[in-house]
Structure 1
């Protein structure tokens, strides 16, 4: 191990080359030249007495030994980087963020992510996955997840950021065609655009315990899809109020039963870093909280 530490530049060059896909991209990230990256990796290969890459005139690809070495060394280097990041001053965030959040929440946040967060933190870049279904944070390599609803028992570290108001909505054209419901029981006979995850339709549960299981021919697994469908008059939808506020304000949608209270589930941020949370993760969660609190 002590000999390998003498080749720290080669280790970093190797990991960056794999992550970025080429020696040229790794050179841009490290602020050096492709030739310097290639030489650092060549010295590392001599130390290990193994070929890490197959080289051709057009590209490079990992050997089986190179893949095995990357699988072991990349988490170690990233852990060192994250540990240093966790003790930096709050304004010094840098590095890469891989994020998953609900589709319609991402739609609302994306302009501010670009104009506020990335502008304030020029050394941070991010990959944003907008899906409502639950992803596996660790096996799929995410840094932080945002999810609405109660948290299952988990080793992940969770933080509640805000309470999200829910709303039942329909388009004026749908209500004209099918009639506006006058009671909760009327809802049971109306066509819904069902919110469906994992093959199960989410029920609508009012604060007094009254439950309506939506009926409808269309089930969708994203808030983005539900909003599109309800605007097109396909049925009633159960959504976060912030995601349809503009539609309600301009009359494109109508809120049903505004006097019947619906639960306000929490928006949670989840990560697996424990106490040594990288500052870029903490700052992004703080940013999401500050933006969401403007809407609720």
Structure 2
């Protein structure tokens, strides 16, 4: 074991080669040569007594032993880097950042993330999954996820970034056919674009505590889909107001029941790093907290 621990440079070279997909790409990222990466991995293979890669002139793939070793070593190496990153007093975001956020929030923030955040942090690689489902942060290997709504996951560290206003919206064509509701009962009788969470329609709760289980011909599992269906006159949609503000301003959608205040929902950042939050996670969370408050978005 002690001799393997002395192979730290070889361990890093191995993980970087797997992540980069080739010795040459790993060498470019590390500022060294493909030959140095290859020799480091050869030393590691000699120490382990096993082949880690299948090598050919065009491809580089892991052997079964290599895959098993990578699955064990990569999280350990990343944990060490994250711990060092968390206690570093200052510096920019760097490394790989795996993120999940709701689809419509991603649509809204994609411009600022690409033109501001990534432009500022040149050493950062961002993997962004736009999905409304509640991903498993730990099992699926996400650094941080952003969710709208309350959640209870004791093993995760949570931070509330904002309280988001909600809105009931429908297209002008839909309202010409069905009429604009003036009461909760009238709203209840309208067809909705149903938001599906875990395959079931998510109930809508009004300010007075009244709960409506939406009914309608179409159910969708993303805010992006709900907005599109509402724009095409399929029904009333319950959405984050910031994601449809431009549609409201253009008159493509109309806000319903404006005298009935809807409960706001928290925008939360969740991660599994505990108190040692990596700098890249903190900086992205800070950035989204700031951007979501901008007048152009809210």
Please give the TM-score of this superposition, normalised by the length of structure 2. 0.96
Q: 1:4 deviation in Å?
A: 2.1
Q: 1:76 deviation in Å?
A: 1.2
In the alignment, what sits opposite 1:111?
Answer: 111
Q: 1:62 deviation in Å?
A: 1.2
| Equivalent position SS for 1:168 | strand
Q: 1:89 deviation in Å?
A: 3.0
In the alignment, what sits opposite 2:239?
Answer: 239
Query: Unaligned stretches of 5+ in structure 1?
Result: none
Question: 2:59 & 2:196 partners in 1: Cα distance?
Answer: 44
Question: What stretches of structure 1 move > 4 A for 4+ residues in a row?
Answer: none
Q: 1:25 deviation in Å?
A: 2.0
Question: 2:176 & 2:68 partners in 1: Cα distance?
Answer: 63
Question: 1:3 & 1:257 partners in 2: Cα distance?
Answer: 70
| Equivalent position SS for 1:194 | strand
In the alignment, what sits opposite 2:191?
Answer: 191
Aligned residues: 296
After TM superposition, the structure 1 = structure 2 runs for residues 95-134 of structure 1, keeping only pairs within 5 Å, are: 95-134=95-134
In the alignment, what sits opposite 1:253?
Answer: 253
| Equivalent position SS for 1:280 | helix
Question: 1:153 & 1:282 partners in 2: Cα distance?
Answer: 19
Deviations 1:110-146 (A, max 9, x none): 1101111112211111010000011111111100000
Comparing 95-104 and 23-32, the one that deviates more: 23-32
Question: 1:132 & 1:232 partners in 2: Cα distance?
Answer: 21
Question: 1:131 & 1:271 partners in 2: Cα distance?
Answer: 16
Question: 1:180 & 1:116 partners in 2: Cα distance?
Answer: 40
| Equivalent position SS for 2:71 | helix
1:53 aligns with 2:65: no
Q: CA RMSD in A?
A: 1.2
Comparing 59-68 and 225-234, the one that deviates more: 59-68
After TM superposition, the structure 1 = structure 2 runs for residues 31-180 of structure 1, keeping only pairs within 5 Å, are: 31-180=31-180
Question: 2:262 & 2:239 partners in 1: Cα distance?
Answer: 11
Comparing 78-87 and 28-37, the one that deviates more: 28-37
Question: 2:140 & 2:21 partners in 1: Cα distance?
Answer: 18
Please give the TM-score of this superposition, normalised by the length of structure 1. 0.97
